[in-house]
Amino acid sequence: MFAAFLQYLFSGLTSGAIYALAGLGFAIIYNASHVINFAQGEFIMIGGMATATMVAAGVPIYLAIPLAMVASMLVGVAMEKFAVEPARNADVVTIIIITIGASIFLRGAAQIIWDKEFHSLPAFSGETPIAVLGATLMPQSLWVFGISAIVIALLWYFFNRTMFGKAMLGTSHNRLAAQLVGVAVKKVLLASFALSALLGAVGGIVVTPITFTNYEAGIMLGLKGFSAAVLGGLGNGTGAIVGGLIVGIAEAMASGYLSSAYKDAIAFIIILFVLFFMPSGLFGKRGTDRV
């Protein structure tokens, strides 16, 4: 009984960590630009697919991983420069369509550059399951937890201890004030996309040995990451992390105890619940409509 619960918990925490990273990616871009980046999932997909295909082609994994991360960051920067920046002052519907268009474009490109097949990566430290109180934990899950934790710690350090990180935070709080102290907000915007792409890619790379990847992997991952961000409070980093873990665990529990067929629906039920009953999420601020 407890073993089953623990099993679902591990599974939920593993996917939850990826949703958390995706949710953080959403939060960073949203804070810098008030844009909801529907292509966030594609950054995850690019990380996984690029690494997997490079490794399959013979590139050593310790080289493939950084290359894939850089590739994802470049895509993020290109997207900001060519799709988001030109539409700076457009209304919500327009920008939503642009980022959705970008995600469709990137999926189409992935299909052509790579293929429609599923790809995988060898687990980083083998496949021998670890027994924990009657449940099994895959070593790759530990990699997921560990790397996510490191990434989050690095992000915390970046935003709270470096000047550019503080400048990014400042820009998200008050763009005008940031401009007046000399922050180049255009650079902040570019950096936010690069950072989110990096986060996505890391998540995609580290989870591929467990879930495999293909050109469409980004769709659901992105949307569930969005669910995490909304649950935590759009724009709140801690919220995105907590939100991601909650979505992951809820999914795993529902799948284990109720019905695995509706697993995917959980994240969206959560979105609706949050939007209907507490739109500012767990940690968010209440907003007022300014006339």
Binding site for other proteins (CB under 8 A): 36, 83, 86-87, 90-98, 100-109, 111-112, 163, 166-167, 169-170, 173-174, 176-184, 219, 223, 226, 230, 234, 259, 261-262, 264-265, 268-269, 271-272, 275-276, 279, 289, 291
Cβ(248)–Cβ(49) below 8 Å:
no
Facing residues of 225 across strands? none
Smallest distance from other proteins to CB 212, Å: 20
Distance linking the first and last C-alpha atoms of the chain: 55
CB of 72 to other proteins, least distance (A): 17
* 142 vs 219 by CB, closer to other proteins: 219
Check if the beta carbon of residue 41 is closer than 8 Å to that of residue 200. yes
Asked if 271 and 227 count as a contact pair (C-beta separation under 8 A), the reply is: yes
Q: For the CB of residue 243, give the shortest distance to other proteins in the complex, in Å.
A: 13
- The backbone torsions φ and ψ at residue 164, rounded to the nearest 5 degrees and listed phi first, read -70, -40
| C-alpha span between 155 and 174 (Å, rounded) | 20
The partner residues of 135 in beta bridges, in order of sequence, read 132
- In the complex with other proteins, the residue whose CB is nearer, 17 or 266, is 266
Residue 103 vs 208, nearer CB to other proteins: 103
Minimum distance from CB of 53 to other proteins (Å)? 17
Q: CA 187, 190, 193, 194 torsion: positive or negative? A: negative
Between 57 and 261, CB nearer to other proteins:
261
* Residue 9 or 110 having the CB closest to other proteins: 110
Q: Which amino acid, one-letter code, is at 136?
A: T
- Tell me the DSSP string of 243-282: HHHHHHHHHHHHHHHT-GGGHHHHHHHHHHHHHHH-TTTT
Q: How far is the CB of 281 from other proteins (least distance, A)?
A: 10
User: Could you tell me the smallest distance in angstroms from the CB atom of residue 282 to other proteins?
Assistant: 15
Looking at beta carbons only, is 118 or 262 nearer to other proteins? Answer: 262
The CA-atom distances, in angstroms, between 50 and each of 123, 131, 150, 241, 290 are 16, 32, 22, 25, 44
Distance CA 38, CA 74 (A): 17
Which residue lies nearer to other proteins by CB, 96 or 142? Answer: 96
Q: Which is nearer to other proteins, 209 or 284 (CB)?
A: 284
Least distance in angstroms from the C-beta of 167 to other proteins: 6
Q: How far is the CB of 47 from other proteins (least distance, A)?
A: 20
CA–CA gap between residue 272 and residue 132 (Å, rounded)? 35
d(CA 22, CA 245): 11
Residues for the chain: how many in total? 291
